[in-house]
Amino acid sequence: MQLGFVTAILPDQSLEEVLRTAADIGYDCVEVMCWPPGKAERRYAGVTHIDISTLDEAGIERVKELQERYGVFISSLGYYPNVLGGDAGAAQVAIDHLYDLLEAAAALGINTVTTFVGRDKDRTIEAQWEDFLTIWKPLVERAGELGVRIGIENCPMRFTADEWPGGNNLAVSPDVWENMWRDIPAAHWGLNYDPSHLVLMQMDYTRPFRDYPERMIHVHAKDLRIDREKLDRHGIFSHPGLWHTPKLPGMGDVDWGKFFSHLTDAGYRGPVCVEVEDRAYEGDLELRKRSLRQSHDYLRQFIA
């Protein structure tokens, strides 16, 4: 396994600065954010460390050279839009960008793209299943042609009132995953697995390692804390933002020893990328770097 981080936490740094930061701290890799240039509408979205839209041969060479120079490799190109919900035009732009991302991942020799499948938050999963297949069958097929693997993050994207009721990503549970893989059985797509979402949804976050070890394309290391007193006040059917707090690894409810115990037994040998969303460490760049250093040091006890 290799230890990395998701670059969204360093929006103001260039790719080179990001890689230098990673190298300074001791990270092995990074998942690079590749949003289309423009303005983000939610926290951690809209970050562009590699601008795919302008990536030419020289750019490709430079990205490769930077990885070598800093001894830090890029584990995946990350982009987390909602291709099934919201404005139809925007969704099409996102789909097009995903196709471009697949090309770019192949061209850069990274061969992995991490993203969401999206969701129309106002409909049940069953009601939009055909739409899901219409969009994703060709995407997965194209990835196969290019030799690129796709890791779908298992995030519910359902934290606040504006994401109510269904959230912006339907790939949230074993039940849904198994349906996804039944209907699009290609082996080169699977999960960008983040245990914190299962903690939020009160699920066993080690079982998927036993049930689908081969579907672990990429792994996120985020943590969160369920705030019991707040949950007692609101209950699980309220907006989850009311009763949980995202935290750095080691300060939430994930038992990382148990997590890595099962992850190693699953035969996983890929990247594990820290995703920082802990507001206590968002103050300034120095604090955000600290959060990366602390997460690195904490997780190294399980990834030597």
Examine residue 138 and say whether the peptide bond preceding it is cis (omega within 30 degrees of 0). Answer: no
Pick the closer one to a copy of itself by CB: 97 or 158.
158
- Least distance to a copy of itself, CB of residue 143, Å: 27
Pick the closer one to a copy of itself by CB: 111 or 238.
238
- Least distance to a copy of itself, CB of residue 18, Å: 18
Label residues 32-49 b or e (16+ Cβ within 10 Å = b): bbbbbeeeeeeeeebbbb
- Least distance to a copy of itself, CB of residue 74, Å: 22
Pick the closer one to a copy of itself by CB: 109 or 165.
165
Tell me the one-letter amino acid at 198: L
The SS3 of residue 299 is: helix
Q: Hey, what are 87's tokens? A: 């404005």
Pick the closer one to a copy of itself by CB: 79 or 302.
302
Pick the closer one to a copy of itself by CB: 218 or 244.
244
Pick the closer one to a copy of itself by CB: 39 or 237.
237
- Least distance to a copy of itself, CB of residue 232, Å: 4
CA-nearest of 262, 298, 292, 302 to 72 is 292
Interface positions with a copy of itself (CB under 8 A) = 124, 126, 156, 158, 161, 164-167, 172-175, 198, 201-204, 207, 210, 225, 228-229, 231-238, 245, 247, 250-252, 257-258, 260-261, 264-265, 267, 278, 280-281, 290-291, 293-298, 300-304
Pick the closer one to a copy of itself by CB: 97 or 262.
262
CA-nearest of 64, 1, 73 to 30 is 73
- Least distance to a copy of itself, CB of residue 142, Å: 30
Q: What whole-number distance in Å separates Cα of residue 102 and Cα of residue 8?
A: 19
The residue count of the chain comes to 304
- Least distance to a copy of itself, CB of residue 264, Å: 4
Pick the closer one to a copy of itself by CB: 138 or 283.
283
Residue 302: phi and psi, rounded to 5, are -115, -10
Find out whether 116 and 168 touch, Cβ atoms under 8 Å: yes
The DSSP secondary-structure symbol of 215 reads G
CA-nearest of 252, 196, 213, 263 to 3 is 263
Residue 184: phi and psi, rounded to 5, are -135, 80
Q: Hey, what are 143's tokens? A: 């990835």
Q: What whole-number distance in Å separates Cα of residue 157 and Cα of residue 116?
A: 9
- Least distance to a copy of itself, CB of residue 97, Å: 27
- Least distance to a copy of itself, CB of residue 89, Å: 25
